[in-house]
Structure 1
Amino acid sequence: MDPVHEADTSGATGPIDKVADLGRDIGDYIRQQRNTAKISLRQLSKLAGVSNPYLSQIERGLRKPSAEILQQIAKGLRISAEALYVQAGILDEPIGGPVVDAIRVDSALSERQKQILLDVYESFRRENAEDRTTSDAPGQSDMEAQ
């Protein structure tokens, strides 16, 4: 058998497997969100304007939804479309978490103020990460690190 068509028995995953995993991951995530919201598949189908069979296939990882479909599903689940985009691998996970998100959506701040706050916040996070790696150095006790 040629190398292109050889079965991989090592357990390693190739690019095709990773795409399939993304489909399963987003499907699992949508199912978890739906169950948490206590919404049936049929109800979400109506709320999102997506056919019941198609939504079922998405949840089972058989179909990978487009960004537009994810946006409709997010609306039906009343969650952010960005959260679904991150789960689906369309967007990278934002760095910083809820603090960064809160700064970005605060309409009382100008874009310049937001950027300054984000820069300061990130500098504190970097400094704290450096402090943790220094205090975790071998041969240094917690008391010496303080």
Structure 2
Amino acid sequence: MASLNVGNLGEYLRDQRRTAQLSLRQLAEAAGVSNPYLSQIERGLRKPSAEVLQQVAKALRISAETLYVRAGILDEKEREELETRAVILADPSINERQKQVLLQIYDSFRKENAAESAPDAAAADAGADDANASSDASSDASNDNASDAERPSS
């Protein structure tokens, strides 16, 4: 059976399982998956679904989003955003209304920063283009001066 591109996930799961001091059989039972299937995931032979990863994450008491990133299901930036939201929603010291307001503020800051970084990136690209153009112009001018110096005076 050919190895899929999930070896990194399998190694990570094995490390997490060993850190939690669980046998393969214990983790499989806690996650509700078969022992052979979990073994194949750890060896990089199987690519688990998001549901299986969520069950395994819960059994290991780790972030499911981290496993999603390692499995290629979720982008790193998306994971960070989801984890931030999860922390806010899980905070028992603030009420539901406060959580929603905080999430709205968080979203507005993310949109504002994305809007600011887009023109900055465009300006940086334009600045690089301007620098290349002026470099080309000064190069052309110095080439003209060099060819003038090489011409015999009349």
The bucket for the TM-score relative to the shorter chain is 0.5 to 0.7
Structure 1: stretches of 5+ with no match in the other structure: 1-16, 131-146
Q: 1:55-98: per-residue Cα shift (whole Å, max 9, x none)?
A: 0111011111111111111111111211111100011112695x
Q: Secondary structure at the match of 1:50?
A: coil
Identity rate, percent: 51
> What TM-score, normalized to structure 2?
0.57
* Aligned residue identity for 1:89: G
In structure 2, what is the equivalent of residue 82 of structure 1?
Answer: 65
Is 1:52 matched with 2:35? yes
Q: 1:109-142: per-residue Cα shift (whole Å, max 9, x none)?
A: 5232121343567789x6xxx9xxxxxxxxxxxx
Alpha-carbon spacing, 1:121–1:39, altered in 2? closer, same or farther (3 Å): farther
**Structure with bigger gyration radius:** 2
> What TM-score, normalized to structure 1?
0.60
2-side partners of 1:55 and 1:26: how far apart? 12
More helix, by proportion: 2
The CA RMSD measured in Å over matched residues stands at: 3.0
Structure 2: stretches of 5+ with no match in the other structure: 90-98, 122-154
Q: 2:106 aligns with which of 114, 117, 129?
A: 114
Tell me how many residue pairs correspond in the alignment: 109
The answer as to whether partners of 2:17 and 2:60 remain within 8 angstroms in 1 is: yes
